[in-house]
Structures are given as C-alpha cells and as structure tokens.
Amino acid sequence: MFKKAVLIIISLLLFFLQVSFFSAPPALAAGFNVLLVYSILVLLLVDVRLSLAYALFFGILTDLYSLYPFGIFIASFCIAVVISHIFLQQFFTNKSVYSFIALMALATVCFLSLQAALVWGAHFFIFNALYAPVWTAAFARALLWQTLGNTIIAAVSFYAIDYFSKKLKPFLIQRQQ
C-alpha cells in the first residue's frame, strides 16, 4: 500500500513539474517531457500494463490542462507506449542505456507525430486544416529539441536508477548441468 501511494505521489509530482515548469515554449526546458520519459522508464523496468496505466493517467491529466480537443494526449501517450513496447520486445531485448535512449527517441517521435496528426485531424473536421499549426519548421525544431531533451533525461535517469537499484544490473548466465 505504501509503495503504491509513493508511486502515485511521484507521478503527480512529475505531472505538476511538467505543467508548471516545462510547458513554457520560449524556455529552454520546453524540450523536456518528463511524463513520457517516466512512462517509458516504467515500461523498461516493470511491464507494459503499468506503463499503459501511467500513460492513460498522464494523458487524462494533460488533456484536462490542454487547449487541444480532449483525447489527443491520451491517444498520443498510449500509442507511443504501445509502439515502444513492440520495439522493446522485437528489437531491443536487453536493458541497456542505448536501448533506453533509442526507445526514448522513438517514443518522442511517435508522441509528437501522433499529437501533430491528431491536431491536424481536429482542424480538418472543423474545416480549418489549412491553418493547423503542424508540420512546419517549428514542429521540426520542437521534434529535434524534445527528442534531444528526452534522451538526455532518459540517460541521466537510467544511470541514477542503475546506481541506486539492482534492477538493471547485469547477471551472469550459468550453465545447467
């Protein structure tokens, strides 16, 4: 019970950190998405069900604070986690820092691309697709900076967890006799 309460408090603190400090576009920290990093970190350390639960939770909270139509962040978070899970199962079988960085970059590109596509789709249905603020040079710049920022946070958090935990320690394969 205490462990679940701590995880809920940590996730709420990360959400408040994201909404309060990392949401200002002119700031240098606008390229960080700690909610996505945390969801992918949970995917790597625990399992896909808990990661999807966090993605759904973060998506709902972010949609409540967003000016976009409701559901864009829910779909973006959840689909990014599902795609990352597929890549984790098929291609990145070890839990190394390189696979975590690659998963983080993939999740960030999926998240922002899905978010942009859904925003464009929402503008398309209200007959305003020509004025949708997606697929521009600003989007490419935001994609680059957020991918870079998220991979930096991912690498730092991976090494911090590796230092304080035994979850990511390598193990020796022993022969059966």
Tokens 């603190």 locate to 13
Residue 173 banded pLDDT, cuts 50, 70, 90: very low
**Of 17-31, 111-125, 127-141, minimum mean pLDDT range:** 17-31
Query: 31 vs 24, which has greater pLDDT?
Result: 31
Do residues 109 and 128 touch, judged by C-beta distance below 8 A?
A: no
Read off φ and ψ for residue 161, nearest 5 degrees.
-70, -35
Q: What is the pLDDT of residues 46-92, one digit of tens each?
A: 889 999 999 999 999 889 988 888 899 999 999 999 999 999 999 88
pTM: 0.83
**Of 82-91, 115-124, 166-175, minimum mean pLDDT range:** 166-175
Query: What's residue 114's pLDDT?
Result: 92
Residue 172 banded pLDDT, cuts 50, 70, 90: very low
Asked if residue 20 has pLDDT above 60, the reply is: yes
104-108 contacts: CB < 8 A, separation 24 or more?
104/36, 104/37, 104/40, 104/150, 104/151, 104/154, 105/147, 105/150, 105/151, 107/36, 107/39, 107/40, 107/80, 107/81, 107/83, 107/150, 108/33, 108/36, 108/80, 108/143, 108/146, 108/147, 108/150, 108/151
Residue 16 banded pLDDT, cuts 50, 70, 90: confident
- The whole-chain average pLDDT of the chain stands at 82
